[in-house]
Structure 1
Amino acid sequence: MSEANFQIPGQTAFYKGKVRDVYTINDKLLVMAASDRISAFDVVLPRPIPYKGQVLNQVAAIMLNATKDIVPNWVKSVPLPNVTIGLKCETFPVEMVVRGNLTGHAWRTYKSGKRELCGVTMPEGLKENDFFPSPIITPTTKAHEGHDEDISREDIIGKGLVSKEEYEQLEKYTLALFARGRELAKQRGLILVDTKYEFGKIGDTIYVIDEIHTPDSSRYFYAEGYEEKQKNGEAQKQLSKEFVREWLMANGFQGKDGQQVPEMTDEFVSTVSERYIELFENITGQKFVKEDVSKAVAEQKIIETLKTL
């Protein structure tokens, strides 16, 4: 599914994100459809990835259920493979990015000679993919369009984006969720390298919202062979969307003005789909079952489910 276009009674708003279509129902509930669209460098790529939406939605549902003892989450029902219905929260305008290893954006920053990221000092003497002494939080602003921007804890509080008390609670939740995510990954022979969390609130209650620990929001390494690869200076075998970014960069695209997205061949699209399914099976320990549901059937299921909530 690349476009849902559902017609839902009681709909009061609609938001089309990079990869999700979000329907607001009676200003109290959200119907979030995870599409097969894929984005990188904050650009939606021209071809959808089969079953990607199902993978994201089902991994998120499993992970949110496995962490609900740490922080309440927004989910009320998962009626379809790629649809979740949950509470509409007042969203905090920051994303809580947490990193356990020197990888991706953090490594690119480090390699450039800088030792500070989002106000956090990174120690000297690290190699790409090394573990940090302890996980670091490197938040970003939450942009509806365009690029998210790095921001420090001090600026978030100083600019009044989040109160000091609430931000400190977000930090606690972030580190606790990441620790649980690492435990779950370890059980599956994986390392949760980095991820991001989004939070919202209803009244005084903070909820974790959107998705967690999915291949779109997270990066995983295989634990087996990690130490040897680090010792030999070899690239880590990973399960994440990073290989899509690497493919784009290798073909001259980083989302900058004037750059063209390279052609996505059938073979490449199939490879990306297989990688998403591979992550689902590795991180959940469950066999992935491809499910195809017509728009009409999905729409009816959503309407029936909303009547029960």
Structure 2
Amino acid sequence: MTGAIKETNFNFPGQVGFYKGKVRDVYMFDKTIAVVATDRISAFDVVLPKPIPFKGQVLNQIAAKFLKATADIVPNWVTANPDPNVTIGKKCEPFKVEMVIRGYLAGHAAREYAAGKRIICGVPLPDGLRENDKLPQPIITPTTKADEGHDEDISREDILRKGIVSEADYLVLEKYTHALFERGSQMAAEKGLILVDTKYEFGKYEGEIYLIDEIHTPDSSRYFYAEGYEANQKAGLPQKQLSKEFVRQWLISHGFQGKEGQEVPDMPFSFVEEISDRYIELYEKITGEKFIKANTQNLEQRIEEAVLEELKG
């Protein structure tokens, strides 16, 4: 197996804090953060035991590309990408919601719909939809941003009623979310893909709203291949997709959905390699560029030196 990075434990000069997310290790400074995209993988809000080679590089480089390509729509937090696994940027105060937007009935929404729900996050859905059908128009189905455990579905009304986000700010988040999804959908279509659903996170820096975290990656988004979509829907066949959903389906088939009392099944190395290959496939498909595997020898040292060099500047 190629080297993969499961976690980092650096101690940088001027560091004032550290946060370990499901996938990212975040090093905090006075007005800056350095984010290391590790090779951890999570599903059902649980971090799986084995890291996936090159996954962090894939996520970091796709996010960098899309953040640059959407900077005319909304300012984002990034100031530098000094290493294939590292992004450095503004230390924003995150909003406590994730803006999930869906153009198709898939994944979690499809499971809720199949269970009989016709209102998801306060948004009514018509009867008669089938899994993976295109929705009449894209819908925003927000979730709370949990520091630990599961993110929870929440409606726009509850977000405003509970004062999680002010109405003025939420209107801006909605506007940005729709505009980003439209741009992401256009860019996907140019590469023969359909952007099915995705999520965006936002924060504030010196009073201004910024797009933070990653966007349009296989961890935050679901893609279908455009070719064959209509035929598969007519025939009631599953869609060929590039996303993390195949990992979730593998876990479900092995009796795990992140519920209490369930044990995470052990992923064989052959499946770990398959996941790595799928992430690289998505990178090449969505960017239209050949994926260049970074040197994974002395991976932690490479990352640490890149961050130190950037902090000096």
C-alpha contact (below 8 Å) 1:194/1:220 kept by paired residues: yes
C-alpha contact (below 8 Å) 2:24/2:36 kept by paired residues: yes
Distance in 2 separating the partners of 1:7 and 1:288: 30
Does residue 47 (structure 1) correspond to residue 41 (structure 2)? The answer is no
| Alpha-carbon shift at residue 297 of structure 1 (Å) | 3.1
Structure 2 match to 1:16: 20
Distance in 1 separating the partners of 2:106 and 2:179: 21
- 3-state SS of 1:290 partner: coil
Structure 1 match to 2:164: 161
Does residue 269 (structure 1) correspond to residue 269 (structure 2)? The answer is no
Structure 1 residues 85-234: aligned runs within 5 Å: 85-234=88-237
Residue 72 of structure 2, aligned match among 30, 47, 69:
69
Amino acid at match of 1:99: R
Distance in 1 separating the partners of 2:260 and 2:129: 33
| Alpha-carbon shift at residue 301 of structure 1 (Å) | 1.8
Amino acid at match of 2:275: V
Structure 1 match to 2:8: 4
Distance in 2 separating the partners of 1:68 and 1:210: 14
1:222-270 superposed Cα distances (whole Å, 9 cap, x missing partner): 0000000001000000000000001100110011111111121011000
Distance in 2 separating the partners of 1:124 and 1:226: 21
Structure 2 match to 1:297: 302
**Percent identity over paired residues:** 66
| Alpha-carbon shift at residue 124 of structure 1 (Å) | 1.4
Amino acid at match of 1:122: L
C-alpha contact (below 8 Å) 1:56/1:215 kept by paired residues: yes
Distance in 2 separating the partners of 1:107 and 1:81: 35
Amino acid at match of 2:311: L
Distance in 2 separating the partners of 1:219 and 1:58: 17
Structure 2 segments unaligned to the other structure (5+ residues)? none
Amino acid at match of 2:312: K
Q: Give every structure 1 segment of 4 or more consecutive aligned residues whose post-TM-superposition deviation is greater than 4 Å.
A: none
| Alpha-carbon shift at residue 7 of structure 1 (Å) | 2.3
C-alpha contact (below 8 Å) 1:7/1:299 kept by paired residues: no
Distance in 2 separating the partners of 1:74 and 1:147: 25
Distance in 1 separating the partners of 2:176 and 2:207: 15
Distance in 2 separating the partners of 1:100 and 1:284: 21
Structure 2 match to 1:81: 84
1:44-99 superposed Cα distances (whole Å, 9 cap, x missing partner): 10100000000000000000000000000000000000100000001100000000
Number of equivalent positions: 307
- 3-state SS of 2:49 partner: coil
C-alpha contact (below 8 Å) 1:218/1:240 kept by paired residues: yes
Structure 1 match to 2:243: 240
**TM-score (normalizing by structure 2):** 0.97
**TM-score (normalizing by structure 1):** 0.98
- 3-state SS of 2:51 partner: coil
